[in-house]
Structure formats: C-alpha cells, structure tokens
C-alpha cells in the first residue's frame, strides 16, 4: 500500500491525483482527527469528511470542504433556536455527522464509521482515522486555550498564537489498522498538509513516530509551504508559534528525523541544497494543484522521488 | 390556566382555536410523549413538535406535521449512507431534533427544552411534556411488540393490533410543572386526540389520574371520534384492541370517571342521551375543524360546556 499521512484540503487534492496515477485500492489515507469536535451533540470530523468527500467527488470545489450544492435549511433553524452558528453545517453535510454520531453511540469505532461512509460514497481509497481515541488539538492564544476549530473557524485565526497542545484530551493510541498498515507500506507519503496541526497530531502518536523513524520503507513529504506561504490555512503563524521556520526548508527540518525525501516547489529551488545537505533527497517541481493534471504530476513526482530513494520499490509503484 | 391534555394534530388544531378565543398566555398544553423515540441518535418528540409548530404557525398544514416549506436534503444523504428512512425528517425539522438532543445531553430536562423551543418560535401558549421520563408507547401486534411510531409510520398501521403497552420503559413521573398546573387550573380539557395512545399515556401517570378524579375543576373532553371514525390516525383499531367502543359514546365511557362533560359532533347527536344518562354533560355541535372559524367555534363550545358545569368559573373563562 501507498500510505498518505493526511490533513484536509491539501491532502485530499494530493490523494485525488495519486488515485488517478495508481490504482486507488493501493492507497490508504491516514487522516488527522485533531480537528474533530462535538457540536450540537454531533461528532464532526472535518478532515475525514474533506478527504472522503473529495475522493467521492462530492466535495464543494470552491470551498474545499462541505458538499457540492448543499443547502443550509437546518442551520438557519438552529440559528432560530439560538444554537451556535459559527461552524457552518450544510443539510447534506449534516447527514454525515448524524450518521457518524449515531453509529458511535451504537458502539462502532471511528475507524468503522469512516470505512462505512467511505464505502457508502463509493471511495476505493482506504480511509483510516489516525486514532479511535479523542485527540483534540488546542491552540494556545492570547484569548486563552482554544480548540483548533474555534481558533480557525470561529476566531478566523485572529488570536495571537503562542503554542499548540496536541492530544489535549490525554494519551492517543493509533487506530487498530494503522501500525500494520505502516509496517507493510511500500511508501509512506506525508501529504502537503499543515505540519503542526494536520500532520503533527498523527506524528505525535508515539507508535507512529517510532515506526517512521525505524522503518526501511521510503518516507517522503510534500511541502505545504511554497515561497514562504501556505496554499491554504494558518500553517505560517502556527509553525512560527511552535518555533518552526515557515519555509520549505523549515518543513524539511520539521520532518528531518522521519523523511528520506521531500518534494518542494520550483519557487523554492534555492532551498534544495540546504535541504539536501541534511541528507534529505529533494525533488523540485511545480506543486500548486490547480487541476487534475497538476495533481497527477505532483503524485508522479512524489512516487518518482520515493523510487529514487528505494530503487527496489520503484518498479512496483507506477 | 386552561389546561389541555394533548396529543398531536387534533389537539394542536383545537388549541389554535382556543388561543384565538382566550389569551394564549392563559392556556397550557400538556403534551403526550409516548410517541417519543430516538432515531439516528436524535431525540424525536412528534407531539411536542406538532403542537409547538402548529401554534408557531410554521407547521406544514397539508401534512399536519413537519415544517412548512421544508426540504429533505439531509434525509436523502442519510439514505445514501444506509441509515433507515421510514421516518421522514425535514431539514428544518431536524434542527428541532438536533437542538433538543444536544440540550438533553447537556443535562437539560425535556420540560426545559420544550419551553426553550416554544419561546424561540414565539409561542405564547405554555407547552409542557407530560413527563421528563422516557414513556414509550408500544403496540402489541401480530408482528410483535412495536414502538408506536414503528406501528404507525413504518408499518402504516397494517399489523393486527391486540393490545397496547403504555409507559413501556417503566414508571413515569409527571413533569415537575404538571401537578401544580392541574391543581390550579380553571378548566381541564381533554383534546380531540386518540384516547388510547395520545391521551392514554398522560392519564396513565398515576398522579394525573388521581388529580383528575378528585379535582373540583371542571374536566371536559372533545370527542375525537365522529360518526364512528377518527378524523385522523388509528384511533378506531387501537380503541377496539383495548376493548373500547370506537364511538363518541365509547370515548365518553373511556373517560367516564374523569370528565364532567363532553363535546360530540352533530352527527353523533343520537348518542347524547346515552352519554348524559351516565352523568356526563353533553354538548352537541360541529366538531370538524376545517379552518380557523370552526376551530374557534369548537373552542367556544368547549368553554361554554365547562362554564355550564361550573357556573362560578364561567365568567372568568371568556
């Protein structure tokens, strides 16, 4: 399997390209659940839904999240009842949250529910939450400790961040399928997702980090930082807040003990020597995924980098 | 207060007329919760919603339940996910269930939530669930013991009924506000609702029955059976199944130890002497509530009957 450690929008787009380049049945997305929260009594899992709905081709392409053509009749009535409305939930979207919540209450695990939704929506890529345990990411700000979605959506990234607390609810065990998957992987890809709050929570699971630092399987990352900026989301302020440099070099340094290679954007070509000097194979290419051709090209480049690192794996990849 | 023991559609329409005849602030609806159920993890309270949404004038007038102009985007996606779809839930409608479920999970009582929704929707009539305890009504059928909504909606009243089990989850205490309300009432009206599964669960609360049999307050019923048929719903088979006669006379006999008077339809005028011979004052009038004039006329007739029974109360009623 080709395993992709995934956040939301960037990862979902990357995997779309990957699934057009290799058989989707050979791909497994391990998805961040640090953004998960309970709102209106409903269990909401933003990154699982973004990845699943993108691969099911039902995503709202303009937003990158939510379901295409969705309506907000329920939300309008929740507002009328005085419920909080800062987190928009479309009517179709709500079906995912209602279904997931009911199944969890009936005793299913998050892994099981993610797989049920994936199958129902006809997605061939395996989708695995990083953990079945609660693993909320908190952002430490000048307005106090906020859940990531409170910081990101409700406060629109306005508070000044001075730190991040991963796994804020206590120890987080890997999802049952996760370690076997990592150990049998042909290649492990760290998607172009926020290193702090998207990939960070996955890597903060002790068994995941240990596996990645000791595996012989090639581990390659795709930098989400291009020209010192994030394609989407608050990667820059969050990287700064935890002492990371918000550049492609900073991303490589963040993952230095885990990765064998990294794909960075053409605009950051000048950073390649510094990354390579740290023993990280570096592939420079266009990484902005405007449409399917760019997504597929990025996927191919990433697999090519992995095959350069582990030539014996190469022939089986594409 | 004018207290109305209420089921769903018939009661809601009756109270609409009543609230146009006396100040709505003087009316309290005590609503059956025997139909309540959890579906998709959501706490659904059909009669509370029908009464509240009718009085808020947001009800779907064609159906008698659900919210006018509602859509079914969420339900369509729940179906796509393989969730059961026999109980239709509109997108606006879902907001009530989501809000109620979240509030209950946060520790609020059903009484509190009913009042919050009532206020949010601008209803001046007090709305009180009969109990804050679970009180499911089960129907004993040739297909086994079914929740009332399974019998009524899912199985469309097709199974042969041989009995009804009220309060199937165990002892049911009156809602905190209920007994004080009954004891201070000027008049107690039993709405034109199903005697077995709508009014029955309210009267099956021991303290309610005791209060009604011992009170000096006039208690009057409006027959939901007209010409041997129910205006709406399965009153006839359910009355038969529990050994009651499905006529206006049968309704009077069902409530004989509780009521001082009953309003029956003109079409049933010939039954009046038999009812009166049982010591129950009987007012014969048109009871079919086609529009607001008929609703108001029925409310006036019911209050008139109550005032004939208790002349000292009469002057204060209208």
Ordered per-residue pLDDT tens for chain A, 318 residues: 999 999 999 999 999 999 999 999 999 999 999 999 999 999 999 999 999 999 999 999 999 999 999 999 999 999 999 999 999 999 999 999 999 999 999 999 999 999 999 999 999 999 999 999 999 999 999 999 999 999 999 999 999 999 999 999 999 999 999 999 999 999 999 999 999 999 999 999 999 999 999 999 999 999 999 999 998 889 999 999 999 999 999 999 999 999 999 999 999 999 999 999 999 999 999 999 999 999 999 999 999 999 999 755 544 554
Query: What is the token pair recorded at B7?
Result: 């089921």
Phi, psi (rounded to 5 degrees) for A67 = -105, 140
Stated as kind and residue range, the H or E segment containing B164 is strand B161-165
Query: What is the token pair recorded at B252?
Result: 């009077």
Query: What is the token pair recorded at B289?
Result: 């509530």
Residue whose structure tokens are 């989407």: A232
For B105, which of A41, A78, A90 is closest by C-beta distance? A41
CB contact under 8 A, A78 and B99: yes
Listed as ranges, residues in chain B with pLDDT below 70 are 311-318
Question: Is A40 at the interface with chain B, CB within 8 A?
Answer: yes
Q: Where are the domains of chain A?
A: 14-24+34-129, 177-308
* Cβ neighbours of residue B273 closer than 8 Å, sequence gap 6 or more: none
d(C-alpha A238, C-alpha A152), whole Å: 11
The whole-number pLDDT of residue B314 equals 44
CB contact under 8 A, A91 and B81: no
B275-288, pLDDT tens digit by residue?
A: 999 999 999 999 99
In chain B, the percentage of residues whose pLDDT exceeds 70 is 97
The whole-number pLDDT of residue A26 equals 98
For B99, which of A83, A94, A116 is closest by C-beta distance? A83
Q: For residue B88, which of B32, B54, B46, B59 has the smallest C-alpha distance?
A: B46
- Å between B19 CA and nearest CA of chain A: 23
Please tell me the pTM assigned to this model.
0.93
The whole-number pLDDT of residue B315 equals 44
C-alpha dihedral over B216, B224, B137, B180, to 10 degrees?
-20
The interface residues of chain A toward chain B in range 180-209, judged by CB-CB distance below 8 A, are: none
B24-46, pLDDT tens digit by residue?
A: 999 999 999 999 999 999 999 99
- CB-based burial of residue B183 (10 Å sphere; 0-12 exposed, 13-18 middle, 19+ buried)? exposed
* Cβ neighbours of residue B141 closer than 8 Å, sequence gap 6 or more: B151, B155, B159, B160, B161, B162
CB contact under 8 A, A83 and B67: no
Helices B46-55, B91-105: crossing angle, 10 deg rounding = 120
- Å between A263 CA and nearest CA of chain B: 37
Question: Is B42 at the interface with chain A, CB within 8 A?
Answer: yes
> In terms of CATH, what superfamily is B177-308?
CofD-like domains (3.40.50.10680)
Question: Is A311 at the interface with chain B, CB within 8 A?
Answer: no
C-alpha dihedral over B151, B152, B156, B160, to 10 degrees?
50
d(C-alpha B35, C-alpha B33), whole Å: 5
d(C-alpha A304, C-alpha B1), whole Å: 79
CB contact under 8 A, B95 and A82: no
How many A/B residue pairs have CB atoms within 8 Å? 106
Question: Is B92 at the interface with chain A, CB within 8 A?
Answer: yes
The whole-number pLDDT of residue B312 equals 54
Phi, psi (rounded to 5 degrees) for A88 = -70, 130
For B95, which of A70, A77, A95 is closest by C-beta distance? A77
Is the predicted ipTM greater than 0.85, yes or no? Answer: yes
For B98, which of A40, A90, A106 is closest by C-beta distance? A40
- Give the single-character DSSP code of A193: S
Name chain B contacts of A121, Cβ cutoff 8 Å: 80
Name chain A contacts of B91, Cβ cutoff 8 Å: 71, 73-74, 77, 91, 94
CB contact at 8 A, A140 and A79 = no
CB contact under 8 A, B120 and A41: no
Name chain A contacts of B114, Cβ cutoff 8 Å: none
- The distance from CA A268 to its chain's CA centroid, rounded to whole angstroms, is 22
CB contact under 8 A, B91 and A74: yes
Question: Is A82 at the interface with chain B, CB within 8 A?
Answer: yes
Question: Is B96 at the interface with chain A, CB within 8 A?
Answer: yes
Q: Would you state the CATH architecture of domain B14-24+34-129?
A: Orthogonal Bundle (1.10)
- Å between A297 CA and nearest CA of chain B: 33
């Amino acid at each position: 399997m080709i395993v992709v450690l995934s956040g939301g929008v960037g990862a979902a787009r990357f995997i779309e390209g990957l699934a057009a380049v290799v058989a989707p049945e050979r791909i497994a997305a391990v998805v961040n659940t640090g953004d998960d929260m309970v709102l209106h009594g409903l269990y909401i899992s933003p990154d699982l839904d973004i990845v699943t709905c993108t691969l099911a081709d039902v995503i709202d392409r303009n937003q990158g999240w939510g379901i295409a053509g969705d309506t907000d009749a329920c939300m309008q009535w929740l507002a009328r009842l005085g419920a909080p409305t800062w987190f928009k939930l479309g009517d179709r979207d709500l079906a995912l949250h209602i279904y997931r919540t009911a199944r969890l209450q009936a005793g299913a695990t998050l892994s099981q529910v993610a797989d049920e939704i994936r199958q129902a929506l006809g997605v061939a890529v395996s989708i695995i939450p990083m953990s079945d345990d609660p693993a909320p990411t908190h952002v430490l700000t000048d307005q106090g400790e906020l859940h990531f979605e409170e910081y990101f959506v409700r406060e629109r990234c306005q508070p000044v961040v001075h730190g991040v607390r991963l796994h804020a609810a206590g120890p987080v065990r890997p999802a049952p399928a996760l370690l076997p998957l990592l150990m049998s992987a042909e290649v492990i890809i760290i998607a172009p997702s926020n290193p702090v709050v998207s990939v960070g929570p996955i890597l903060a699971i002790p068994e995941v980090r240990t596996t990645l630092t000791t595996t012989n399987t090639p581990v390659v990352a795709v930098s989400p930082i291009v020209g010192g900026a994030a394609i989407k989301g608050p990667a820059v302020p969050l990287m700064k807040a935890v002492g990371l440099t918000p550049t492609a070099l900073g991303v490589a340094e963040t993952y230095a003990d885990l990765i064998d290679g990294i794909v960075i954007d053409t605009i950051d070509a000048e950073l390649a020597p510094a990354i390579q000097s740290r023993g990280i194979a570096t592939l420079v290419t266009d990484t902005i995924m405007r449409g399917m051709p760019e997504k597929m090209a990025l996927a191919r480049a990433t697999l090519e980098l992995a095959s350069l690192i582990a030539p014996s794996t190469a022939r089986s990849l594409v």
